[in-house]
Amino acid sequence: MDASVDVIEAREVERQTPRGLVPPALPPSAALAPAIPDYLMDTYYWAYLNPRNVRLLDREIVVSVILWGQHRRLRREAFRELRPGQNVLQPACVYGDFSPALARHLGPRGRLEVIDVAPIQVAGCRRKLRGFPQATVRHADAAAPGGGPYDAVCCYFLLHELPEDYKRAVVDALLMSVVPGGKVVFMDYHKPHPAHPLKGVTSIVFDTLEPYAKSLWRHEISDFAGAAEGFTWRKETYFGGLYQKTVARRLAVPAREQDAPRHTHCAPE
Ligand SMILES: C[S@@+](CC[C@H](N)C(=O)[O-])C[C@H]1O[C@@H](n2cnc3c(N)ncnc32)[C@H](O)[C@@H]1O
């Protein structure tokens, strides 16, 4: 039995045990696995954890509809930043065939590692990537991804689902996951043009279903980075500003070292 199954069982036990009663002993590996964050349980259970809904929603057409028909274009723009042969982290599953397409893009000499904090998503993504020996899927939280270092990270529509402290933790963890010269690609929502015909309906959807998304209307993604100065940042927007690609490239030589006067350092004997 793998760790993800243990965690599903642990959650099930938690759910089924009435408050005040002591639950039966959990499998030891459950303690080592990352916990499902509160925001995921409270806000997104229906979308990512409920098995019946996951079976229903894990389709390309669903992502395309949610992204107003822009999914394929945005995906292309994200992949444009990644070269075949690179070692890439995808820090959360995406419904439909995003991960197989990314594995195909990186090619047989590349490497794709997908992580997700929800065991049910890990299991689904593993099934989708069966035919791709260059790809693996791991149960981990994007705020503590482990693995790496990677040539690049491809973070597709994860940030808008995270509360502010989690946004900061994830952005920092992803920045620290790439090699010097490597890049982190964030594809996500952005504040649309004031006259955008879909601004009103998007605003209502966010207020109803996506309570953490509007912070991307008020902040640049670089605002969430504690170590932003070790990176160059660039942003492009799409579809009347509703979406953005922000790319953080890690400086090959950290800025402070470049600027510092050169002197010989004598190590103490
Ligand atoms: C990438 S986002 C949304 C992508 C796209 N909108 C879609 O519909 O597929 C959804 C995934 O993020 C995962 N997720 C949420 N918080 C996470 C975290 N802290 N670490 C890793 N995965 C996380 C969820 O379990 C879910 O599988």
Q: For position 90, which CATH number holds?
A: 3.40.50.150
Domain span holding position 105: 60-255
Domain shared by 75 and 204, yes or no: yes
How many domains would you assign to the chain?
2
- ∠ CA(53), CA(56), CA(59), 5° rounding? 125
Atom of ligand 1 nearest to the CA of 94: 9
pLDDT in the model for residue 111: 98
Half-sphere exposure of 50 (CA within 13 A, CB side): 10
Atom of ligand 1 nearest to the CA of 39: 16
pLDDT in the model for residue 227: 72
* Length of the chain measured in residues: 269
Quote the ligand 1 centre to 184 CA distance (angstroms).
17
Domain shared by 131 and 79, yes or no: yes
Dihedral, CA of residue 112, residue 79, residue 245 and residue 138, to nearest 10 = -10
Q: pLDDT tens across 237-268, in order?
A: 999 999 999 999 999 975 555 554 443 333 33
pLDDT in the model for residue 108: 98
Which residue ranges of the chain lie beneath pLDDT 70? 1-32, 228, 254-269
- The pTM score is 0.85
Domain shared by 16 and 115, yes or no: no
Domain shared by 190 and 247, yes or no: yes
Quote the ligand 1 centre to 154 CA distance (angstroms).
12
Pocket of ligand 1 (CB under 6 A): 37, 40, 48, 63, 66, 91-95, 115-118, 121, 141-143, 156-158, 161
